[in-house]
Amino acid sequence: MRVLVVEDQRVLADRIAEGLRDQGMAVDIAYDGATALELMAYSSFDVIVLDRGLPRVHGDAVCASVVASPSTARILMLTAAAGVEDRVDGLNLGADDYLGKPFAFNELVARVHALARRSPSTPPTLRRGDLIVDRPRRRVTRANRIIALTRKEFGVLEVLAATDGGVVSAEELLEHVWDANADPFSNTVSVTVSRLRKKLGRPPAIETVIGSGYRLCDQRSDHDEPCAP
């Protein structure tokens, strides 16, 4: 899951980002509305944690821009104003959820997860043959065996499983699982996929489609072609 935190209080923004990264999310930060719009112009996000009172471009304008764009990102709006009218205004702008400051971090994490699960294309539990990815619990099993994964390995598997056998390019994996600081010319994706493939065991669950990317194979389906690493 890739999240954009837009908050002008730098200490708070950094703490939110650090906490979400500890939960296995890829997180980018913008300290003002203009920077947020620039990041959204060339990167896609699953959830945007958006402060309302932003410098340069107000949070309301950022929210309206996201809603008017083709983006499917869900918006969690933050504000120090706790009045009902403020919450209603934020939701009327197109925000998907609203959280007043101060807030409990555990609640913010829960709301981010809940927003990410709202997309109909990404159900809470993803299955591919004998492989099960439990997104809310961040648990992976194959043939009833629990597999321990790192955050990035889980993120890669989550993206692959969500396509239900479709091919995902290395660039797409880098965009969804890593943040803007990732080096697009490094081999970090291939190394992570290689480690993940080994942990998932045999028969191979991930196939490299030369020149295109990676896909998950369904070993239980008679209609699928054999999966080769």
Give the residue among 100, 119, 97 at the shortest CA–CA distance from 48: 97
Does residue 6 contact residue 95 with C-beta atoms inside 8 Å? no
The residue to which tokens 């998932």 are assigned: 200
Q: Please tell me the predicted confidence (pLDDT) of residue 191.
A: 93
**How would you class 23 by CB atoms within 10 Å of its CB: exposed for 0-12, middle for 13-18, buried for 19 or more?**
middle
pTM over 0.85: no
The token duo for 94 is 């197109």
pLDDT one-digit tens code per residue, 38-64? 999 888 898 999 999 899 999 999 999
The pLDDT assigned to 166 comes to 86
Strand partners of residue 6: 30, 50
Helix (H) or strand (E) holding 100: strand 97-100
Q: What is the pLDDT along the chain (229 residues), one digit of tens a residue?
A: 889 999 999 999 999 999 998 888 889 999 999 999 999 988 889 899 999 989 999 999 999 999 888 888 999 999 876 566 666 676 778 888 988 888 999 999 999 988 887 654 566 788 888 999 988 788 999 999 999 999 889 989 988 988 878 899 988 888 888 877 777 777 899 999 999 999 999 888 999 998 899 999 865 544 445 565 5
Please report the pLDDT score of residue 59 as a whole number.
92
Which of these, 56, 67, 151, lies nearest to 48 by C-alpha position? Answer: 67
Give residue 62's pLDDT: 94
Domains and CATH numbers, the chain: 2-116 (3.40.50.2300), 125-216 (1.10.10.10)
pLDDT at position 84: 61
d(CA 186, CA 17): 23
